[in-house]
Amino acid sequence: MITVWLLLLLVLANGAPVVAARLLQHRFSAPVDGGLRLWDGQPLLGRSKTWRGLVAGLLSCTVFAPVMGLSVSFGVVFAALALGGDLLSSFIKRRMALEPSARASGLDQLPESVLPVAYAWWQLDFPLWQAIGVVLLFVTANMVFSPLLYQLGIRKQPH
């Protein structure tokens, strides 16, 4: 059952920012990096990484972790690691001169899933094969369902 709960938390941490953007439109969409550009002329993270998204991802996991029998603090740390992994991906993609929301298979999914799942594995003591399974399920689901969410008008990009 832990596999299902962790997968759901990953979906919440990474999906809540998309839903918040859809619902709130341009409200509260200040970029986390404040528009800062680095030595390479690229943004630190890009305009698609917003405070609205960070708050939405953190709140969703903080609220739902106790529903799943996990602590609030677990939900906060799990979400922070998932969102931090997403920010790390964006930082790397900007250094590669990829546009915000540009597709980079693997890089888009691995940091935001491996970091929080590794934390969960360390904290909750479940088999490593289950942790790997959660990451693989998340990566696969992300690659399969993102185009569908785009077609439904929920995502702005098909990836």
* Tens of pLDDT, residues 32-66: 999 999 999 899 998 889 999 999 999 999 999 99
Q: Record the tokens describing residue 36, joined without a space.
A: 């800062």
Contact 108, 140 (CB under 8 A): no
Q: What is the pLDDT of residues 122-137, one digit of tens each?
A: 999 999 999 999 999 9
Mean pLDDT confidence for 112-127: 96
* pLDDT at position 149: 62
Q: Which amino acid does the sequence have at 126?
A: F
Which pLDDT score is estimated for 78? 98
Give me the residues paired with residue 43 across strands: 37
Reference 7, options 136, 143, 145, 154; nearest CA is 136
| Average pLDDT value for residue range 72-79 | 98
Question: Under a CB-based contact definition with an 8 Å cutoff, are residues 116 and 134 in contact?
Answer: no
Question: In this structure, are residues 76 and 58 in contact, taking their beta carbons and an 8 Å threshold?
Answer: yes
